[in-house]
Amino acid sequence: MVHAAIFDMDGILFDTERLCCDAWRAVSSEEGYVMDDSLFFSCVGRNNRDTRDIVMATLGEGFPYERFNVRAREWMRSRMEESGPPEKPGVRTILQYFSDKSVPVALATSTGEKSARWMIERAGLSRFFTAYAFGSEVERGKPEPDIFLLANSRLGGFLPSNCAVFEDSPAGLKAGSQAGMRTVFVPDMIASGPETAPFVWKQIESLEEAAFPSFYDDM
What ranges do the domains of the chain cover?
4-15+85-216, 16-80
Q: Taking Cα atoms as reference points, which of 40, 55, 53, 44 lies closest to residue 8?
A: 44
Return the number of other C-beta atoms located less than 10 Å from residue 123's C-beta. Answer: 17
Percent share of the chain, pLDDT over 70: 99
Query: Can you tell me the mean pLDDT for 73-93?
Result: 88
Please give the torsion angle defined by the CA atoms of residues 155, 158, 161 and 166, in that order, rounded to the nearest 10 degrees.
-10
- The pLDDT of residue 73 is 85
Among the options 8, 10, 146, 168, which is catalytic? 8
Contact criterion met (CB below 8 Å) for 62 and 18: no
φ, ψ (nearest 5 deg) of residue 62 = -80, -10
> Domain 4-15+85-216 maps to which CATH number in 3.90.1300.10, 3.40.50.1000, 3.40.50.1950, 3.90.1150.10?
3.40.50.1000
- The pLDDT of residue 91 is 97
Q: What is the DSSP annotation of 90-111?
A: THHHHHHHHHHTT--EEEEESS
The angle subtended at Cα 95 by Cα 133 and Cα 201, nearest 5°, is: 75
Query: Does residue 86 surpass a pLDDT of 80?
Result: yes
- The pLDDT of residue 192 is 66
- The pLDDT of residue 37 is 83
Among 2-6, 76-80, 140-144, 212-216, name the one with the lowest average pLDDT.
Answer: 76-80
Tens of pLDDT, residue by residue over 172-181, are 999 999 999 9
Q: Taking Cα atoms as reference points, which of 210, 3, 31, 12 lies closest to residue 125?
A: 12
- The pLDDT of residue 126 is 97
210 compared with 17, residue with greater pLDDT: 210
Query: Can you tell me the mean pLDDT for 143-161?
Result: 97
Question: How much is the mean pLDDT over the chain?
Answer: 91
Q: pLDDT class for 6, splitting at 50, 70, 90?
A: very high
Q: Please give the sequence-ordered ranges of beta strands (E in DSSP) within 70-181, or none if there are none.
A: 105-109, 131-134, 163-167
Q: Identify whether 37 is a catalytic site residue.
A: no
